[in-house]
Amino acid sequence: MLTVKEIKGLKPKKTPYYTWDKSGERGKGRLGVQVMPSGSVNFKFRYFKDSKPTFIQLGKMPGMSLALARDLCKEYGDLLSLGIDPKEELEKRAREKSQKEREANEIGSFEQLIKLHAEHKKTEGKRSYQDEMKKIVDNVFPYLDIKRKAKDFKAEDFIHILSIPIESGHAAKSNKIRSILHAAFNFGRFYDNDPAYKNRNTKFGISGNPIADIPKQTRAEKAGTHFLSWEEVEKLLWDMDHRYADLDFAFQTRQAIKLCFHLGGQRPYEVVTLEWSDINFLDKYLTVQQGNFKTNIPHVIPLTKTAINILHDLKSNATQNSPYVFYKKTNPLEHMPTNSIAQALLTYKSRTKEVRPFIGRDFRRTVKTLGATIKLSKEIRDRIQGHAFSDVSSKHYDMYEYLDEKRAALEVWEKELNERIEKFTQ
């Protein structure tokens, strides 16, 4: 049998040559070395197939030891004893390995799951996809290996992340992040079998939702009850027009807050996502487009004189050519983020003792509540704010229905609001 000493003693010749083990079981192949003119030595396994020699490269000395070469030869010889061609077996194993690696590379990461879920929500016309994506990027991505396969995540990977806002006194924020994650993993569970994604290379292989095992913070889910009084609304809107010494709000922010009230308590998101093409100055109404309205249907709102004046002021004071009424300063092709309003309100509350703490979401409730004090019916208040109705006619929705009634109600609201603001200055 070949020895290390014998192999090291082999001298190179002008052409490659082989030296073989002198012993070996018949029909099980044989170990040999190929000596190259350069002096390098290659281990080879030789066997006969259809009376013709077939070679398998094992490795090169000194990277491969003689002992390892013999182990490989024994493995290949055992395959021959079973009637299996070792070269074909190696090719089969290589194909299987390549397939597994390819499949492993196709298994989607956590980052891909979040992005594809946001893309899905955008396609479905869900207006919240950008805000939700930002929440995950800001509050979850910094604490995880986002390149890790989504299917490998467990509940314990998210418990600390969700505890951070709770410990800061923001349990509702924790619930929101939990809700987004839960929806994303549910999306991933069915993604692989969804015909809509059959041409995508990415698969997730998610069998269960890890977020389902994390309880919601139920104590944080309380329906909002806060609304501003007439005096507080008067103060707020007067300040938006006159108070500059200690409130360095942007012009757009001030106008957005005013417009929320003069459009009958529309949500800040529905206001800041308005485009100029949504506004019909001739017929005096605007349309909150389907993708921007919470119920996912277009919502028509009549425009009062005050609302029209606000819009004209915005147009004449615009410093950028943007499709949006309220545009982002750093990118006029995007709408102003609702966070601009939220931050402004935080500043306002910290500097205004006459107004109780409130958030942008309270605008809607304020108009609904104060509207009742001036005898606006609940139905017309609901229709102005675009609440869903279950009656037959509402199910077959005509977005221009009740337009005259809504206009009349908003004019009553405008008159009351403007008279009170005018008296506030006296």
274, pLDDT greater than 80: yes
Helix or strand run (H / E) with residue 52: strand 52-60
289, pLDDT greater than 70: yes
> Taking phi first (over 0 means left), then psi (-120 to 50 degrees means alpha), and beta for anything else, what does residue 351 get?
alpha
Residue with tokens 């077959």: 396
Please give the pLDDT value at position 395.
45
Measured between alpha carbons, how far is 361 from 265 in angstroms, rounded to an integer? Answer: 9
Q: Which of 76-85, 129-138, 253-262, 395-404 is most confident?
A: 253-262
Measured between alpha carbons, how far is 121 from 89 in angstroms, rounded to an integer? Answer: 47
User: pLDDT of 328-339, one tens digit each?
Assistant: 999 999 999 988
User: pLDDT of 101-136, one tens digit each?
Assistant: 666 566 889 999 999 999 998 888 777 788 899 999
Q: Does residue 127 contact residue 291 with C-beta atoms inside 8 Å?
A: yes
320, pLDDT greater than 70: yes
Burial 121-143 (b: 16+ CB within 10 A, else e): beeeeebebeebbebbeebbeee
User: Average pLDDT, whole number, for the chain?
Assistant: 90
Please give the pLDDT value at position 86.
92
The pLDDT-based confidence of 399 (bands split at 50, 70, 90) is: low
Please give the pLDDT value at position 125.
76
Average pLDDT for residues 159-170, to the nearest whole number? 90
392, pLDDT greater than 60: no
Question: What domains appear along the chain, each with residue ranges and CATH number?
Answer: 4-104 (3.30.160.390), 110-220 (1.10.150), 230-424 (1.10.443.10)
Please give the pLDDT value at position 273.
93
Please give the pLDDT value at position 122.
87
Average pLDDT for residues 402-419, to the nearest whole number? 95
The alpha-helical segments, DSSP class H, found in 107-215 are 110-123, 129-139, 156-167, 171-191
Please give the pLDDT value at position 89.
92
What HEC string does 196-223 produce? HHCCCCCECCCCCCHHHHCCCCHHHCCC
Please give the pLDDT value at position 101.
66
The pLDDT-based confidence of 327 (bands split at 50, 70, 90) is: very high
User: pLDDT of 196-241, one tens digit each?
Assistant: 887 677 889 899 999 999 999 887 655 567 899 999 999 999 999 9
Q: Does residue 286 contact residue 279 with C-beta atoms inside 8 Å?
A: yes
Helix or strand run (H / E) with residue 291: none
The pLDDT-based confidence of 396 (bands split at 50, 70, 90) is: very low
